[in-house]
Chains A and B, each alone.
Chain A
Amino acid sequence: MRLHIRAAAAAVAALAFLYVFSLPAAAQRPRTAGPGQKVGILEPGGPAPRASDGHPDLTGMWWPNRTGIPHAENTGADVDRAALRQFDPAKTPEAPPVFLPEAAAKMKALNATQRELSKLSVNCIPRGLPAIWLSNTYAVQLVQTPGLLVQLIEVLNNFRIIHTDGRPHPKYPEPLYHGNPSAKWEGDTLVIDSIGFDPSTFVSNNGSWFHSDELRVIERISRPSRNYLQIQITVEDPKVLARPWTSAPRHWTLVEGEDVHEYYCTNNPDVDEFQKLDSQGK
């Protein structure tokens, strides 16, 4: 009888152990940061989860650096500078874009204040694609179902709806901030090929890298491990770039137990200030 009780107790303990270590992502404890706390690069966290259709599941709220903690550097924590970067330039260097001379001249004509005034973010206008990946300091949340990926973009409350069944681009694509996507899985990587962009967007939110009507953006999105989302962007624009530009594989980290928040831009005095500076020749 006593042996049976011991065996049962051991079985319960084993089941409890398995339960605790197999909790789904949403049930795990969020990472936090505070004054004096050391924050380094988030560990890989084991294999990426799979969706019901066998593809990697990209679902989660993702943060644009390698801390896994939103705004860790603003909490007074001792944050490793390397963790604030999306990639290690020593391991995966990212070459700067090479512009055609006339495009470069147009960009150089702007002074620092004029570049600030040109930034869509300063004007509370959505960054568009691919700046939303390349120049975004806030979270994105991905929701994946078979054949569909929904991207919720925290800053300025934007969204993208991407069908992942390989359907072609529209015959007459309209100019859109996030372009017109055609997406399909290539192995464990989701490849999104987009054309047709609003002429007012910039490739990067630096107020100068403009684009032409021939802009094409290819996103390669994968989840190399549970805690990491990897994005690599290729930009083709033969009227602006001397050759296509490809980013380093940039990393976003999983944030546990949090959703994107509301962010409407309703009180923005910065444009007036920059216009004042511009009129002063500063």
Chain B
Amino acid sequence: MKSRVSGAAAIACGVAWLAAPLFAHHSVASEFDTKNCRDFTGTLTSVSWENPHMHFNLDIKDAGGKVESWTFQGYSTLTMTRAGSPRQDFMENMGKEVWVRGCLARSGTTHKAAAGTLKFADGRLRQVGQLQDNGN
């Protein structure tokens, strides 16, 4: 009996399989644009400690000096806490200046970005989001 399976079918569906390290809730790069990343500096105004992602807001001045609120998406709360950036770190930096590297939403949603790295006033570089931008 002739096999019903084509080689093409077997190969096509094997793509992205194998032993790659696992990713979490979803592919962040499918939602955010890794070629559209920026440095942001602003004042920390709030933090949402919920899942599947924590979020925090910064008040950021635009080029004309107008203050706008931006929302940044980070890891899950479990990842944040276990990786050394618990909620308390955000609470202690409320109202202070924060630097973030973030990538914008592919959909064009404004004032929203996926956070990658972050610095509080202590200057320590923290990884707070899955996104590793490609430097653009």
Contacts and interface: CB of A to CB of B under 8 A. Distances in A.
A162 interface: no
B88 interface: no
A101 B50 CA distance: 41
Interface residues of B, number: 49
B121 interface: no
Interface residues of A, number: 62
Contacts of B24: 121, 137-138
The B interface is mostly helix, strand or loop, or mixed, namely loop
A94 B19 CA distance: 8
B58 interface: no
A28 interface: no
A97 B18 CA distance: 10
A92 B18 CA distance: 11
The A interface is mostly helix, strand or loop, or mixed, namely loop
Nearest to B48: A267
B18 A100 contact: no
B123 interface: no
Contacts of A105: 9
B95 interface: no
Interface stretch (B34-42, B62-70, B71-79): B71-79
A145 interface: no
Contact of B125 (A76, A86, A154, A274): A76
B78 A89 contact: no
B125 A112 contact: no
A116 interface: yes
Interface of A: 34-35, 64-65, 70-71, 73-76, 81, 84-89, 94-101, 104-105, 107-108, 112-113, 116, 119, 121-122, 124, 135-138, 154, 204, 206, 208-209, 242, 248, 261, 263-270, 273-274, 276-277, 280, 282
